Amino acid sequence: MKVFKFGGASVKSAEAFRNIAHIVKTCGGDRELLLVVSAMGKTTNALEQIFDLAYSGQSFETAFQQCLSYHQEITNELFRDKTAPVHERLEHLFAQLRQTLERIPSGATYDKYYDQVVSYGELFSSTILHHFLQEQGLSNTWIDSRKYIQTDNTWREGKVDWNWTERTIKRDLTSLLQEQLVVTQGFLGGTNNGFTTTLGREGSDFSAAIFAYSLDAEAMYIWKDVEGLLNADPKYFEDTVRYPEISYQETVEMAYYGASVIHPKTIKPLANKLIPLYVKSFLNPAAAGTKICDCRFEVIAPAYIIKENQCLISFSVKDFTFISEKNLGTIFNALSEMRLKINMMQNSAISFSICTDYFPERLERLIQTLQDQFEIHYNTNLRLYTIKNYDSQSISKVTTGKSILLEQRTRTTFQAVCR
Ligand SMILES: Nc1ncnc2c1ncn2[C@@H]1O[C@H](COP(=O)(O)OP(=O)(O)O)[C@@H](O)[C@H]1O
Ligand SMILES: N[C@@H](CC(=O)OP(=O)(O)O)C(=O)O
Give strand pairing partners of 354.
313, 345
301 pLDDT exceeds 80?
A: yes
Ligand 2 pocket member 121 (CB < 6 A) = yes
Burial 275-310 (b: 16+ CB within 10 A, else e): bbbbbbbbeeeeeebbbbbeeeeeeeebbbbbbeeb
d(CA 399, CA 383): 11
C-beta atoms surrounding 108 within 10 Å:
13
C-alpha of residue 19 to centroid of ligand 1, in Å: 18
Q: What is the pLDDT of residue 299?
A: 63
Contact assessment for residue 239 and residue 20, using Cβ atoms and an 8 Å cutoff: no
Please state whether beta strands 413-418 and 404-409 pair in parallel, antiparallel, or not at all (unpaired).
antiparallel
Residue 314 carries which side chain, given as an amino acid letter? Answer: S
Closest residue (by CA) to atom 13 of ligand 1? 261
Closest residue (by CA) to atom 11 of ligand 1? 261
CATH number listed for the domain at residues 303-418: 3.30.2130.10
Confidence of residue 386 (pLDDT cuts 50, 70, 90): very high
Q: What is the pLDDT of residue 116?
A: 98
Our measurement of the distance from residue 87's CA atom to the centroid of its chain's CA atoms, rounded to an integer in Å, reads 28
193 pLDDT exceeds 90?
A: yes
d(CA 116, CA 114): 6
Whose atoms come closest to the Cα of 205: which ligand? Answer: 2
d(CA 110, CA 359): 14
Closest residue (by CA) to atom 20 of ligand 1? 7
What are the residue boundaries of the structural domains of the chain, listed by start? 2-293, 303-418
- Does ipTM exceed 0.95? yes
338 pLDDT exceeds 80?
A: yes
Alpha helices by DSSP H, listed for 244-400, are 248-257, 267-272, 325-337, 360-370, 392-399
Closest residue (by CA) to atom 8 of ligand 2? 7
d(CA 357, CA 342): 8
Ligand 2 pocket member 228 (CB < 6 A) = no
Contact assessment for residue 350 and residue 380, using Cβ atoms and an 8 Å cutoff: no
Ligand 2 pocket member 204 (CB < 6 A) = yes
Which atom in ligand 1 lies closest to the alpha carbon of residue 9? 22
349 pLDDT exceeds 90?
A: no
Listed range (121-135, 179-193, 216-230, 309-323) with the worst mean pLDDT: 309-323
Which atom in ligand 1 lies closest to the alpha carbon of residue 10? 22
Lining ligand 1 with CB less than 6 A are 7-10, 38, 202, 224-226, 229-230, 232-235, 259-261
Confidence of residue 298 (pLDDT cuts 50, 70, 90): low
Alpha helices by DSSP H, listed for 59-119, are 61-78, 85-102, 110-118
Whose atoms come closest to the Cα of 44: which ligand? Answer: 2
C-alpha of residue 281 to centroid of ligand 1, in Å: 11
Give strand pairing partners of 315.
352, 376
- Indicate the top mutation candidate among 17, 261, 262 to test ligand 1's pocket, ranked by most ligand atoms within 8 A of CB: 261
Q: What is the pLDDT of residue 382?
A: 98
Whose atoms come closest to the Cα of 231: which ligand? Answer: 1
Q: What is the pLDDT of residue 297?
A: 65
Mean pLDDT computed over 251-279: 96
Of the chain, the percentage scoring pLDDT greater than 70 comes to: 99
Which atom in ligand 2 lies closest to the alpha carbon of residue 121? 1
Do the domains spanning 2-293 and 303-418 agree at the CATH topology level?
Answer: no
Our measurement of the distance from residue 88's CA atom to the centroid of its chain's CA atoms, rounded to an integer in Å, reads 30
300 pLDDT exceeds 70?
A: yes
Which atom in ligand 1 lies closest to the alpha carbon of residue 225? 25
If DSSP codes are grouped into helix, strand and coil, which group holds residue 244?
Answer: coil
Confidence of residue 351 (pLDDT cuts 50, 70, 90): confident
Calculate the average pLDDT of the chain. 96
C-alpha of residue 187 to centroid of ligand 2, in Å: 7
Cβ-count burial of 341 within 10 angstroms (0-12 exposed, 13-18 middle, 19+ buried)? exposed
Contact assessment for residue 383 and residue 417, using Cβ atoms and an 8 Å cutoff: yes
Q: What's the predicted TM-score (pTM) here?
A: 0.94
CATH 3.40.50.620 fits 2-293, yes or no: no
**What does R_g of the chain's alpha carbons equal in angstroms?**
23
Whose atoms come closest to the Cα of 308: which ligand? Answer: 1
d(CA 39, CA 17): 12
Burial 124-155 (b: 16+ CB within 10 A, else e): bbbbbbbbbbbebebebebbebbebbbbeebb
Contact assessment for residue 375 and residue 327, using Cβ atoms and an 8 Å cutoff: no
394 pLDDT exceeds 90?
A: yes
**How much helix, strand and coil, in percent to the nearest 5, is found in the chain?**
40, 25, 35
Closest residue (by CA) to atom 23 of ligand 1? 7
Closest residue (by CA) to atom 10 of ligand 2? 202
Of the chain, the percentage scoring pLDDT greater than 90 comes to: 93
pLDDT per residue over 13-72, tens digit each?
A: 999 999 999 999 999 988 899 999 999 999 999 999 999 999 999 999 999 999 999 999
